Structure 1
Amino acid sequence: MSATSYQTLNKGELTQLLDIAREAIRGHFSSGLPKSPEYSLYGRKLLAPAACFVTLEVSGQLQGCLGSTAAHSPLVLEVHNKARASAYQDRRFMPLTEEQLSQLTIEISVLTTPKVQEIDSEQALIDFLSVNKVGVILTDNHQQALFLPQVWKKLKSPTNFIKQLKVKAGWNANYWSSNIKVKTFDVTSIKGKFY
């Protein structure tokens, strides 16, 4: 994977991103319009365009996860926007409530640039993933699904990982096509409690 500035975020920078996500979620419950991050407070790495996902869990259960795979905006703004979207716009879940905040954890994953893999069969992908525990994006025509590298903690088998990713895309678990495109990526991440 090509080295880019946002892959080298240190603990302090990641902690700043966690604070931005907390403020974005907190702002929903306070009066007035939510405030975007004040750019002057952050260093150049956090102001560089970067792609990220924000994952929310309440009592260990997924409550929202939205993000992007392409860098369009400064990272601080991406984290702010994706935190709000994950909390209140992920259609798979009811919007986050104030009562849930005490049990809320936030995980921010900053993505490397996805890299196209020349994979010609499902078995070749299984073989690749047996030694590379990375994030994966599968695309075929207009359907796409993504798993962050953290999903390996729950789906340890490459075969199961791929099957579940295909189901997420809306395909049959046994589906495979020569048209499927495979991209992989890594993340730098931080996880913390809301309070």
Structure 2
Amino acid sequence: MSATLCQNLNKGDLIQLLDVAREAIRGHFADEIPQPPQLDLYGRKLLQPGACFVTLTVNGQLQGCLGTIAARSPLVMEVHNQARASAYQDRRFLPLTEEQLDDLQIEVSVLSSPETLDVSSEQELLNYLSQNKVGVILSDQHRQALFLPQVWEQIKKPADFLRQLKRKAGWNDVYWSPTMSVKTFTVSSIKGHYHFSGI
């Protein structure tokens, strides 16, 4: 998905994607076979291949967060799939329960295409992050870790941000490699409560 398409999503587009995520979760609890979105109900932008993450919180505590950085499927299908995965397949958490729905908040983040950041040292990266609160993907060898830009809301300092990202990848706090790959990205995002009734 191009950065241009990500930036071209308007509020109406994002509201539709949030509804898709809600419906994907609702379908799990309804007495029916969960159905994927009807693609003919959506406009051209939402049918283009897109990369996204869906983040779930219950009473402000993370309950699931999964997504993809590669745009392979129509965006509306990707949101549907990642919402279900975040609710029931994130191995860090027990599957979402019906009792949690009243306190559930859903955030859909549509990613721009990651761009390689040419830095030769960790300090160069820290200098960049001090001025740019973007999403970051670190990868080296067979390990990779990603933080969405929203993580800056909880981790304010670049050094702490980078330290936690390294830990997520399984590296120690001082790890750095000449072959480290750094990519950055932005998101268009929307957040809302799960407020279906009658389930």
Q: Same fold (TM over 0.5)?
A: yes
Question: How far apart are the structure 2 equivalents of 1:29 and 1:108?
Answer: 20
1:162 aligns with 2:162: yes
Amino acid at match of 2:55: T
1:140 aligns with 2:131: no
Question: How far apart are the structure 2 equivalents of 1:163 and 1:110?
Answer: 25
Aligned counterpart, 1:4: 4
Residues 36-63 of structure 1 show CA distances to partners (whole Å, capped at 9, x for unaligned) of 0011111000011010000000000000
Aligned counterpart, 1:86: 86
Amino acid at match of 1:159: A
Aligned counterpart, 1:129: 129
Residues 99-152 of structure 1 show CA distances to partners (whole Å, capped at 9, x for unaligned) of 000000000000000000111110000001001100000001110000000000
Amino acid at match of 2:158: P
Question: How far apart are the structure 1 equivalents of 2:78 and 2:167?
Answer: 28
Aligned residue for 1:85, secondary structure, equals: helix
Aligned residue for 2:29, secondary structure, equals: coil
Aligned residue for 1:28, secondary structure, equals: helix
Q: Tell which deviates more after alignment, 160-169 or 171-180.
A: 171-180
Question: How far apart are the structure 2 equivalents of 1:75 and 1:49?
Answer: 5
Aligned residue for 2:106, secondary structure, equals: strand
Question: How far apart are the structure 1 equivalents of 2:169 and 2:52?
Answer: 20
Question: How far apart are the structure 1 equivalents of 2:77 and 2:31?
Answer: 21
Runs of 4+ in 1 over 4 A off after TM superposition: none
For the 8 Å contact 1:6–1:45, the answer to whether it is kept is no
Aligned counterpart, 1:51: 51
Aligned counterpart, 1:24: 24
Question: How far apart are the structure 2 equivalents of 1:24 and 1:138?
Answer: 30
Question: How far apart are the structure 2 equivalents of 1:138 and 1:123?
Answer: 14
Question: How far apart are the structure 2 equivalents of 1:27 and 1:134?
Answer: 33
Aligned counterpart, 1:40: 40
- Structure 2 spans left out of the alignment, 5+ residues: none
Question: What is the TM-score of this pair, normalised by structure 1?
Answer: 0.98
Aligned counterpart, 1:192: 192
For the 8 Å contact 2:107–2:189, the answer to whether it is kept is yes
Question: How far apart are the structure 2 equivalents of 1:140 and 1:58?
Answer: 33
Q: CA RMSD in A?
A: 0.8
Question: How far apart are the structure 2 equivalents of 1:19 and 1:8?
Answer: 19
1:67 aligns with 2:67: yes
For the 8 Å contact 1:7–1:111, the answer to whether it is kept is no
Question: How far apart are the structure 2 equivalents of 1:6 and 1:117?
Answer: 19
Aligned counterpart, 1:176: 176
- Shift, 1:3, TM fit: 3.9
Question: How far apart are the structure 2 equivalents of 1:31 and 1:146?
Answer: 36
Aligned counterpart, 2:119: 119
- Structure 1 spans left out of the alignment, 5+ residues: none
Aligned counterpart, 1:152: 152
For the 8 Å contact 1:7–1:110, the answer to whether it is kept is no
Aligned residue for 1:4, secondary structure, equals: helix
